[in-house]
Amino acid sequence: MIKFREWNSVDNMLSEAINVEGFLGRIEACKTTEGLKELEKYYNKRVKEIDVPEADDIQIRDAFRGKAKDLETSDESEKDDDSESDKEEDEDI
């Protein structure tokens, strides 16, 4: 949960907990490395302005690393698919 100063009520506390889950969802929804880098840049700026519990910070940073790895693997497999298609086209000529 992200703690923005002081919780005024249980509703505020729950709302902030949902925001962490929402942010993790945004990380998961990233389709490009560039988009992920922009989101991480925003997080790194925002984390300096708010009090983020260490466990939440670890979870978010881990999500960034995991998604970056997924996107990297995805990019590599697309390049392999493209090079195989190019080879097949060359063989047809």
Residue 61 is assigned to a structural domain of this protein: yes
Residue 35 is assigned to a structural domain of this protein: yes
Q: How many domains, the chain?
A: 1
Burial level of 85, CB count in 10 A (0-12/13-18/19+)?
exposed
Residue 43 is assigned to a structural domain of this protein: yes
Residue 3 is assigned to a structural domain of this protein: no
On whether the CB atoms of residues 71 and 30 are closer than 8 A, the answer is: yes
Residue 2 is assigned to a structural domain of this protein: no
What residues make up the domain containing 35? 10-92
Residue 22 is assigned to a structural domain of this protein: yes
On whether the CB atoms of residues 53 and 13 are closer than 8 A, the answer is: no
Residue 4 is assigned to a structural domain of this protein: no
Q: Looking at per-residue confidence, does 8 or 26 come out higher?
A: 26
* Lowest-confidence pick of 14-23, 24-33, 52-61: 14-23
List 51's β-bridge partners, or say none.
Answer: 3
Q: What is the pTM of this model?
A: 0.67
Provide the pLDDT confidence category of residue 4 given band limits of 50, 70 and 90: very low
- The CATH number of whichever domain residue 66 belongs to comes to 1.20.1280.210
Nearest to 28 by CA among 18, 13, 39: 39
Q: Which residues contact 72 (CB under 8 A, 6 or more apart)?
A: 33
Provide the pLDDT confidence category of residue 51 given band limits of 50, 70 and 90: confident
